[in-house]
A and B are shown apart, each in its own frame.
Chain A
Amino acid sequence: MALQLFEIADFTVSNPVTSVTFSGIPQGYSDLKLLTSTRNSSTTPEEVLTFNGSSTGFSDIVLYSYNGIVGSNNSTPIRATSNMSTQTATSFSHTEYYVPNYALTAHKTVVSDSTSVNNSSSNCFVYITAGLWANTSAITSVTVTAGGSGFFVANSTFRLYGVL
């Protein structure tokens, strides 16, 4: 069966915000897909994904590249890379999150790939992330928060889709 994608909600930043939340997510899809294009006012090239307003139970593994270096690490939030203030003005990141089985009563796994770009051969990032929310609650809301206590600047965009 062909991929069926249905937009649930979208948000474009006009005035800087620290986070964007999509609430009241319908429970009738198989999976969720979240597409973000962001720029962060801080010098931290990351954004963080959380669910249901919770701050606990999140962890991730990231495979990354930065300035010609390949590495991997883990952390307690679920991270993707976001463009930051020291990268070329008016450049924005590109991130795709995929959340399978978001409505089931099981721990939730997230996969994502993301890139923050720069008009330079350096100071650019590529992330491939596997994330876990060790919680069996169905996901009813999704929040993306700017890293480094920064703000998402104007023209950052967020679109949430349901997948059948």
Chain B
Amino acid sequence: MAIRSLKTGAMSRSALAGNPIIMPGSYESIATVTGNGTSQSLTFSNIPQTYAHLEIRGIGQASYSSNDNGAIGVRLNGDTGSNYTRHFIRGSGSSVSAGGLTSTTFAEAGDGAYLNTGSTVGASVISVFDYTNTNKYTTIRGLSGMDNNGLGAITLGSGLWINTAAVTSLTIFQQNANFTDKSTFALYGIA
């Protein structure tokens, strides 16, 4: 038997006998951020400390006129210092590359931004495990890519934040240009 909310009118399942058991899921939406053309950073603040892991899924476009693919970076707790490393493996459609950088100002999350205006966007799935654990540095991983009919890249990137603090805010960063209004990223908690 379904239950109708008197406040909203919404229908939902009940846990009364005879109905399927309602199991709380382990994947929950926390917040969504969207670009507006004025900033290279999109930030999730006041992240609840009640999940095991975090995941961000989104699309990115930055108004840089190079008609190129661009990396998405991750910064934690507002730290803009050289306290990150970046590692990646990348394919461009014609070649492969890999690399590592240390003392960088953001962690690598892959080529998740299209650096131009128009309809094309990049896509990213980024995750941060054990973000409340203060016994380990925080590792970030991003699978990102974009294609504009021959131009683009697919990247599996990662990074290390040299800090053991619990993560309370997370910033998606594009180093070349401001995120356009076609950019939107959703933060999820994984229990």
Contact of B116 with A by CB under 8 A: no
> Contact between B139 and A119 (Cβ–Cβ < 8 Å)?
no
Contact of A65 with B by CB under 8 A: yes
Q: How far is the CA of A35 from the CA of B53 in the complex (A)?
A: 9
> Contact between A157 and B101 (Cβ–Cβ < 8 Å)?
no
Chain A residues 11-49 with CB under 8 Å of chain B are 35, 37
For B29, the closest partner residue in chain A by CB is A2
What string of 1s and 0s marks CB contacts (under 8 Å) between B77-113 and chain A? 0000000010111000000111111100000000000
Contact of B69 with A by CB under 8 A: no
Q: How far is the CA of A4 from the CA of B191 in the complex (A)?
A: 12
> Contact between A120 and B98 (Cβ–Cβ < 8 Å)?
no
Chain B residues 132-191 with CB under 8 Å of chain A are 133, 135-137, 139-141, 143, 156-160, 162, 164, 190-191
Contact of B27 among A5, A113, A118, A157 (CB under 8 A): A5
> Contact between B160 and A117 (Cβ–Cβ < 8 Å)?
yes
Shortest beta-carbon distance from B175 to chain A in Å: 18
Contact of B12 with A by CB under 8 A: no
Shortest beta-carbon distance from A102 to chain B in Å: 17
Q: How far is the CA of A117 from the CA of B100 in the complex (A)?
A: 10
Shortest beta-carbon distance from A62 to chain B in Å: 11
Q: How far is the CA of A3 from the CA of B98 in the complex (A)?
A: 31
> Contact between A94 and B141 (Cβ–Cβ < 8 Å)?
yes
Shortest beta-carbon distance from B118 to chain A in Å: 29
Contact of B25 with A by CB under 8 A: yes
Interface size on A, residues (CB 8 A): 40
Residues of B with C-beta under 8 A to A35: 53, 129, 190
> Contact between A90 and B99 (Cβ–Cβ < 8 Å)?
no
> Contact between B158 and A7 (Cβ–Cβ < 8 Å)?
no
Contact of B135 among A119, A120, A155 (CB under 8 A): A155
For B159, the closest partner residue in chain A by CB is A117
Q: How far is the CA of A93 from the CA of B140 in the complex (A)?
A: 9
Shortest beta-carbon distance from B53 to chain A in Å: 6
> Contact between B137 and A90 (Cβ–Cβ < 8 Å)?
yes
Instruction: Given A6-B26, A124-B87, decide whether A117 and B98 contact each other with a Cβ distance below 8 A.
Output: no
Chain A residues at the B interface, C-beta cutoff of 8 Å: 3-7, 10, 35, 37, 63-70, 88, 90-94, 96, 113, 115, 117-122, 124-126, 128, 154-155, 157, 159, 161
24 contacts between A and B (CB under 8 A): A3-B27, A5-B26, A6-B26, A37-B129, A65-B88, A67-B100, A68-B98, A70-B96, A70-B97, A88-B137, A88-B160, A92-B136, A94-B139, A94-B140, A113-B141, A113-B143, A117-B159, A121-B99, A124-B100, A126-B89, A154-B135, A155-B130, A157-B52, A159-B53
